[in-house]
């Protein structure tokens, strides 16, 4: 099982390196990039929570092995990883998520995030929760994704890897892993 996962991770790394090389060769940059996971030939197509439209996320932002694995599978490899959970808890606090969702993500002014019922049913999956955190909602939560959180500063915002760690921490408070 570990060997299979290692092979998949290696193959994915090679594919992403080739894709990035091709983008550079075409003289494309991440500004205004319209590359999505689906158009890059990967298994995951993201959609925004607000309108269900295709969600454009620069594949270059998926710059860790865990983020690249998620990009292909939609499964969060950080689920159950104590170090990632600890980091996710810290990020949840740094971005003031506790102000709306409470200290244990069970809801306060904003909805609870642990389930089993969700304001946005797609949040029962890690892919769905990722989309909601990345691009925001109609109900008041702004986009948290890198480049979306603050349009005046494209370096501001949370990375895909950080979103996955936050989700891993959220999942420790309920019975749903999101990888079902």
Q: How far is CA 164 from CA 18, 65, 91, 167, in A?
A: 24, 12, 11, 5
Q: Which residue has the higher pLDDT, 77 or 19?
A: 77
Q: Which of 43, 73, 103 represents a domain boundary (last residue)?
A: 73
Domain that holds residue 164: 82-171
pLDDT at 56: 86
Whose CA is closest to 80, among 20, 165, 180? 165
Q: Which residue has the higher pLDDT, 145 or 11?
A: 145
CATH number, domain with residue 102: 1.10.760.10
Residue 55 located in a structural domain? yes
Instruction: State the total domains in the chain.
Output: 2
Whether 159 and 101 map to the same domain: the answer is: yes
Residue 154 located in a structural domain? yes
CA-CA distance, 55 to 64, in Å (whole number)?
Answer: 20
Q: Which of 3-12, 23-32, 145-154 has the lowest mean pLDDT?
A: 23-32
CA-CA distance, 143 to 45, in Å (whole number)?
Answer: 18
Whether 86 and 151 map to the same domain: the answer is: yes
Tokens representing residue 44 in the block = 């995951």
Q: Are 123 and 114 within 8 A, CB to CB? A: no
Whether 64 and 101 map to the same domain: the answer is: no
Residue 178 located in a structural domain? no
Whether 154 and 89 map to the same domain: the answer is: yes
Confidence of residue 172 (pLDDT cuts 50, 70, 90): very high
Tokens representing residue 164 in the block = 């996955």
Confidence of residue 26 (pLDDT cuts 50, 70, 90): very low
pLDDT at 27: 35
Element spanning 6, H or E: helix 2-25
Q: Which of 41, 56, 73 represents a domain boundary (last residue)?
A: 73
pLDDT at 41: 57
Tell me the pTM.
0.76
pLDDT at 42: 54
Q: Are 106 and 139 within 8 A, CB to CB? A: no
Q: Are 176 and 116 within 8 A, CB to CB? A: yes
Whether 62 and 111 map to the same domain: the answer is: no
pLDDT at 43: 59
Residue the block writes with tokens 């099982």: 1
Q: Which of 73, 98, 114 represents a domain boundary (last residue)?
A: 73
């Amino acid at each position: 099982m570990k060997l299979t996962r290692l092979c998949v991770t290696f193959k994915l790394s090679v594919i992403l390196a080739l894709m990035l090389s091709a983008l550079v060769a075409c003289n494309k940059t991440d500004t205004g990039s319209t590359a999505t996971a689906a158009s890059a030939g990967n298994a995951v197509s993201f959609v925004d929570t607000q309108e269900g439209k295709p969600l454009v996320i620069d594949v270059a932002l998926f710059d860790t092995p865990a983020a690249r694995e998620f990009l292909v599978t939609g499964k969060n490899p950080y689920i159950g990883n104590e170090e990632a959970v600890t980091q996710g808890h810290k990020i949840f606090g740094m971005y003031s998520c506790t102000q709306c969702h409470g200290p244990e993500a069970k809801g306060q002014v904003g909805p609870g995030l642990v389930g089993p019922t969700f304001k946005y049913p797609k949040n029962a999956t890690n892919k769905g929760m990722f989309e909601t955190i990345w691009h925001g909602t109609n109900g008041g939560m702004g986009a948290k994704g890198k480049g979306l959180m603050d349009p005046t500063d494209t370096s501001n915002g949370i990375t895909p890897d950080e979103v996955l760690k936050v989700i891993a921490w959220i999942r420790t408070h309920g019975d749903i892993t999101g990888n079902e």
